[in-house]
């Protein structure tokens, strides 16, 4: 099989589950790196993106708790940049060690990435992107009474703070990301969906928002003309009628079929739907490309028939 340029989107919840310590998250990424190495061993070029929902939410809480007049809390765009740096460092280190263990001579680098959004995006009026820890309904209501923050129920898993989530328009660093990949460097980029910036008065300015990691990954895959976009989730395949007696796994599915399933409300808005929409957008903007939605544990099986859910144009 010829070498492919593959973008793999890791979820922030795959890095942090219940233990938010530095040690636990490094251990999680050590396990993640072992799966990512399988893509390299197949002769592919790899670009990795990652979420940061739990991490940036926790960081915002820490910033607020320690804020003072002389040491004010950092705004959300800066917190996104900070988690890009910390998660990028952890993953970069884990991959370097995994390469060494496997005898692979490969360089890896993290790129602090700015993602351009439209300042007129309606998302700034209607915040929807969950960040931070899961709370009970009573805890969320208490937080809303104490602040101007908005909390919403998140796919049956609890209540989380929600912030504006504008769609990505472009990625400022994509040319250098592509250049690195073309030179064989494994690149970690658009962490946490990227640092949201708007263009105002001929300057790029950070804004208080979080970009969905899957849409940022789709935009990156589109801009670097990737052959494959892989979006990781907690299940091996996408299902319709999920958790019902007539549940059915999707193996290969067309964009037309997915549009129909969306109309049927088959995919949860805060969970699977953004992944489906990102996969559709990539395939429609890159006719030669494919998208796969699957689990981390299934990463090494892309050369196997019916591995994960493959989205194709049609």
The pLDDT of residue 97 is 97
- Judge whether 30 counts as a catalytic residue: no
CA count, 13 A, side-chain hemisphere, 205: 9
- Judge whether 12 counts as a catalytic residue: yes
The pLDDT of residue 288 is 84
- Judge whether 275 counts as a catalytic residue: yes
Q: Of 55, 74, 56, give the one whose Cα is nearest residue 64.
A: 74
Q: Which listed residue (161, 167, 213, 290) is catalytic?
A: 213
- Judge whether 206 counts as a catalytic residue: no
pLDDT tens per residue across span 207-256:
999 999 999 999 999 999 999 999 999 889 999 999 999 999 999 999 99
Q: Which listed residue (11, 12, 51, 191) is catalytic?
A: 12
Q: Is the pLDDT of residue 149 over 60?
A: yes
Q: Which listed residue (275, 286, 298, 308) is catalytic?
A: 275
pLDDT tens per residue across span 260-283:
999 999 998 878 999 999 999 999
Q: How much is the mean pLDDT over the chain?
A: 92
Q: Which listed residue (13, 26, 158, 301) is catalytic?
A: 13
The average pLDDT across 64-80 equals 93
Confidence of residue 21 (pLDDT cuts 50, 70, 90): very high
Q: Which fold has domain 5-112+168-201+209-312?
A: Carbamate kinase (3.40.1160)
Confidence of residue 305 (pLDDT cuts 50, 70, 90): low
Compute CA distances 130 → 43, 63, 112, 134, 231, whole Å: 36, 18, 22, 9, 18
Structure pTM? 0.90
The pLDDT of residue 209 is 94
């Amino acid at each position: 099989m010829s070498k492919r340029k593959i973008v793999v989107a890791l979820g922030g919840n795959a890095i942090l589950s219940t233990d938010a310590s530095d040690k636990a998250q490094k251990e999680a990424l050590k396990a993640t790196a072992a799966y990512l190495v399988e893509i390299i061993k197949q002769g592919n070029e790899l670009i990795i993106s990652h979420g940061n929902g739990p991490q940036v939410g926790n960081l915002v809480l820490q910033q607020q708790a320690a804020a003072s007049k002389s040491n004010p809390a950092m705004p959300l765009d800066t917190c996104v940049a900070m988690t890009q740096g910390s998660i990028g460092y952890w993953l970069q280190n884990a991959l370097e060690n995994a390469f060494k263990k496997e005898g692979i001579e490969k360089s890896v680098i993290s790129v602090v990435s700015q993602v351009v959004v439209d300042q007129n995006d309606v998302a700034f009026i209607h915040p929807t992107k969950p960040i931070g820890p899961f709370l009970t309904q009573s805890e969320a209501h208490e937080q809303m009474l104490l602040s101007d923050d908005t909390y919403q129920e998140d796919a049956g898993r609890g209540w989380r703070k929600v912030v504006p989530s504008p769609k990505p328009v472009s990625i400022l660093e994509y040319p250098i990301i592509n250049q690195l990949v073309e030179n064989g460097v494994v690149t970690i980029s658009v962490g946490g969906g990227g640092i949201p910036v708007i263009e105002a008065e001929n300057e790029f300015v950070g804004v208080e928002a979080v970009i969905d990691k899957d849409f940022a990954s789709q935009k990156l895959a589109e801009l670097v003309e990737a052959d494959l976009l892989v979006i990781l989730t907690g299940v091996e395949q996408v299902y319709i009628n999920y958790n019902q007696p007539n549940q059915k796994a999707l193996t290969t599915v067309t964009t037309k079929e997915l549009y129909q399933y969306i109309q049927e409300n088959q995919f949860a808005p805060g969970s699977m739907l953004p992944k489906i929409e990102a996969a559709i957008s990539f395939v429609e903007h890159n006719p030669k490309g494919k998208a796969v939605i699957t689990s981390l544990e299934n990463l090494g099986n892309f050369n196997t028939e019916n591995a994960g859910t493959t989205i194709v144009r049609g």
